[in-house]
Amino acid sequence: MALRTAGRVLVVFLWSVTVVLGQDGWSVTYTTQSICTLKGSTVDLFCSYTYPRGKVTTTFWFTEWGTGVEPEDLGQDPEYAGRLEYHGDKKKDCTLKITDLRERDSATYKFRLLTDQEGGKFSGSPGATLSVTGLQVKLTGGYQDKTLTCSTTCTLTDNPTYIWYKNGQHLDESTSPQYKYSVSNDYDDSYSCAVKGHEDLHSPAVCVQGQRCYRVTNTKRRICVLKGSTVDISCTYVGYYSTTSSFWFRSDKSTPEDLTTDPGYAGRVEYTGTYKGPFTLRITDLREEDSAEYRFTFKTDNFDWGHSFPGTTLSVTDLQVKVTPAVEGQKTLTCITTCTLTDNPTYIWYKNGQRLDESTSPQYKDPVYSNYGDSYSCAVKGHEDHHSPAVCVQGQSCYRVTYTKRRICVLKGSTVDISCTYVGYYSTTSSFWFRSDKSTPEDLTRVPGYAGRVEHTGTYRGPSSLRITDLREEDSAEYRFTFKTNNFEWGHSFPGTTLSVTGLQVNVTPAVEGQKTLTCITTCTLTDNPTYIWYKNGQRLDEPTSQQYSSNILVVLGHSVDSYSCTVEHHEDLHSPAVWKQTSVLTAAVGIIVVVLVLILCLSGLMCFR
């Protein structure tokens, strides 16, 4: 089975009565016959098998089997893509792990094996029946006497411990699904429940009175998206009193910190939405280190929503092509990720940079033959600029181009090096860099707009670099590399490196009373996490006047009449325009008006100082 690991580390280990059904030396043993577990969790279907003779050629799990129809391998079902791990080995262990469980995964799972002997096929019945359930809080009773029950659609395996929360704060835990203490009748109180060991899989919060209680409802509890793409994480929130502030934060930080003030997200985070409507966190140019749980918090005059309440877990992954042997002379290609991509994507396949086919399955559907010259890569529909690296199906001399960086953001007026490595099965006859937004690929060294600013260096199989000097904002574009051999030309449609060119600006916002926050902003996130340098009245702040002085944020006194500007280390000649504090602008304006009035009066003879 071509199955792989993905998903969570919380596993439901299940031990129950062994179920064995066999004949003439054939048998499949299921450790448990019936399992009920939580949506979003992980389950192990423990299994072992025996067979009388011969060599096992194929093993797989399946859920349905029509009369006269060969059962289908779950590993080929797009619904399970990236969520299965098969433990099959020489010890005849056939345990199946399913991660990120969904309610539609509820089914009876059976194991099947095929051998090289005549009639050597066997399916283990009755199988293991899996039921997947969410948690819901049911509210019963009258106004003064209410009962809360953490309900499920099946009886959870292993006698779990239930945990109760009030307004997002941990209250109590018990082996009973009913809340045993008195329940508040306040209009602003909400309750939710979870199961110990799965505290991140809360039930939705419910009001005990009316519908205006404190609660946050996440649109999605888990999201898996591609590195370099953009994600929207959203929720709805309600508070009994008016909201005074709200923000998103990462739960792995020791102190909740508004993401818009986190330097690691500078220029990549945006909030949209209104009270009671979907409130959205948008993160652009995603990186693998952005993988985390994101939570939303809000405050009212009377209340602060609990920071401990689960949010949305974001996983950021790249694409890789896995090559596995099939029958002799053939290979199987799978477009793999480290998590299951959200929203059942369509996969697109490329051969030598040319588009081939698309499918809802991460496996390439046609047999691939071992050709030394051919390389394959994959992408996801709607994100065609986020290709996997190209891989050879045989050896390492196939056609491919690998870009050192897929995105670069640099300062206007600076110099950038865009590089790649390339390999062709035959000798290269020519190569050049070009802009993908031009109708016809044209060597940049011959484009008038780049005259005297472009240099192309590099050798075959070594890094090939495009250097552009004196960068301008209009240089922002995607740059691609192409090469030719006597037999082949690398496809011009294959994604390259996207360059964004930005200037620096200082943004001034109020902070606490008597202070202001200065932010050195750009239109894109500068590459390589630069160190920012601040200037006061044209003089560099070599001694820190704030702990943040080397970041893109500087806090200064609000009554200051000084000017401030910023730049980036190693680009000290590329300053932002200087800004004056608001008070200094007013003071300067008043001073100018006074001087002008005095001059007018002096020239008219009414008043003049001598």
For 161-175, 178-192, 332-346, which range has the lowest pLDDT when averaged over its residues?
Answer: 178-192
- Which tokens go with 82? 């990236």
pLDDT score at 5: 34
* CA-wise closest residue to 325 among 583, 2, 105: 2
Q: What is the pTM of this model?
A: 0.70
Our CA dihedral for 195, 199, 200, 201, rounded to 10 degrees, sits at 10
Q: What is the pLDDT of residue 10?
A: 37
Sorted by where each starts, the structural domains of the chain and their CATH numbers stand as: 11-132 (2.60.40.10), 136-207 (2.60.40.10), 215-316 (2.60.40.10), 319-398 (2.60.40.10), 401-497 (2.60.40.10), 503-585 (2.60.40.10)
User: 91 or 595: which carries more pLDDT confidence?
Assistant: 91
- % the chain with pLDDT above 70: 84
Does the structure show a pLDDT above 90 at 433?
yes
Q: Which two tokens mark 427?
A: 């000798």
Q: Higher pLDDT residue, 519 or 23?
A: 519
Q: What is residue 289's predicted lDDT score, i.e. its pLDDT?
A: 93
pLDDT at 325 over 70: yes
Q: Which residues contact 246 (CB under 8 A, 6 or more apart)?
A: 237, 279, 296, 297, 298, 299
List, for residues 443-471, the tens digit of each pLDDT value: 999 999 999 999 988 765 667 899 999 99
With H, G, I as helix, E, B as strand and everything else as coil, classify residue 76: helix
> Which tokens hold the place of 522?
């750009």
Q: Spell out a b/e string for 280-308, using b for 16 or more CB atoms within 10 Å of the CB, else e.
A: bbebebbeeebbbbbbbbbebeebebbbe
Pairing status of strand 428-435 against strand 532-536:
unpaired
pLDDT score at 602? 60
Q: Report the SS3 class of residue 448.
A: helix
Q: How many CB atoms neighbour CB 177 within 10 A? A: 19
284-322 pLDDT per residue, tens = 989 999 999 999 988 877 777 766 677 899 999 999 998
Assess contact for 148 and 176: CB atoms under 8 A: no
- Strand locations in 179-337 (E): 190-195, 206-207, 215-218, 222-226, 231-238, 243-250, 269-272, 279-283, 292-300, 312-317, 320-325, 330-336
What number is the average pLDDT over the span 172-182? 87
**DSSP string of 246-261?**
EEEEETTSSS---GGG
- What's the pLDDT at 263? 77
Spatial distance between the Cα atoms of 73 and 53, rounded to a whole number of angstroms:
23
**Is the predicted pLDDT of residue 210 greater than 90, yes or no?**
no
Q: Tell me the mean pLDDT in the region 60-66.
A: 82
What residues have CB less than 8 Å from 464, skipping those under 6 apart?
419, 420, 421, 422, 431, 456, 457, 458, 481
> pLDDT at residue 600 above 90?
no
What per-residue confidence (pLDDT) applies to 15?
38
- Kindly tell me the sign of the dihedral angle through the C-alpha atoms of 489, 492, 497, 502: positive
d(CA 378, CA 475): 28
Burial degree of 439 (CB within 10 A; 0-12, 13-18, 19+): exposed
Least confident residue range of 346-355, 514-523, 546-555: 546-555
| Choice among 49-53, 110-114, 180-184 with the minimum mean pLDDT | 180-184
Q: Is residue 240 very low, low, confident or very high in pLDDT (cuts 50, 70, 90)?
A: low
Cα distance between the two ends of the chain = 98
What's the confidence (pLDDT) of residue 117? Answer: 87
251 contact partners, CB below 8 Å, separation of at least 6: 292, 293, 294, 295, 307, 311
Question: What is the pLDDT averaged over residues 582-602?
Answer: 52
pLDDT at 395 over 80: no
